[in-house]
Structure 1
Amino acid sequence: MATVIRLTRLGRKKKPFYRMVVTDSRKRRDGGWVEAIGYYNPLAETPVVKFDAERLKYWVSVGAKMSDRVAALTTSK
């Protein structure tokens, strides 16, 4: 299974909230996922990014690829 770490969209119209998840790369953006490892709230006064660094490191070590957005969010922290 080709796994990828990416954001899945939650929230309502014009009020996005994203969950950082590990999923099969062939699934849709909001399809099922294997594990949720964090979240991203871009609409807070200061955008909030929280994630479990240990789990992120584990998934990358077993071959999961990070999406461009997840890579940018996790390295800026």
Structure 2
Amino acid sequence: MSVKIRLKKIGKKHRPIYHIVVADSRAPRDGKFIEKLGTYNPHTDPPSTVLKMENAVSWLMKGAQPTNTVKSIFSKNGVLLKKHLLKGVKKGVFTDEEYQKKFYFWYKKYKI
């Protein structure tokens, strides 16, 4: 079974809001899903995103493939960076303290 992380459309006509969900790739866009990871509202300025970062990283580590839009959202929120750093810790490239320091530096510089 191939697992995708994608957007599920909710909301009114012409004012969609999206849930970021983990779903089987064969399921319809607004159909069954495995887990809800957060929400994305493109109508605010800047677009607002609420994410369960730890759950998103764990699904990525398990091999779930994000769609292009979700990949962009994850990149802007640091999920892909966190996954990359955790893989480095797992391989022994750097320690857990270095991983936390690098992620904290990125978070302070780009998120706030």
Into which bin does the TM-score normalised by the smaller protein fall?
A: over 0.9
Displacement after TM superposition at 1:49 (Å): 1.0
Count of equivalent residues: 77
Displacement after TM superposition at 1:76 (Å): 1.2
Q: TM-score, normalised by structure 1?
A: 0.94
Alignment of 1:1-77 (within 5 A): 1-77=1-77
5+ residue gaps, structure 2: 78-112
Q: Which has the higher strand share?
A: 1
Task: Give the distance between the partners of 1:47 and 1:76, measured in 2 at CA.
Answer: 11
Cα deviation, 1:18-72, whole Å, max 9, x if unaligned, reads 0000000011111110000101001123210111111011101111101100000
5+ residue gaps, structure 1: none
Task: Give the letter aligned to residue 34 of structure 1.
Answer: I
Displacement after TM superposition at 1:74 (Å): 1.1
Q: Which has the higher helix share?
A: 2
Displacement after TM superposition at 1:6 (Å): 0.3
Between stretches 3-12 and 41-50, larger displacement belongs to: 41-50
Q: Which runs of 4+ in 1 moved over 2 A?
A: none
Task: Give the distance between the partners of 1:45 and 1:68, measured in 2 at CA.
Answer: 21
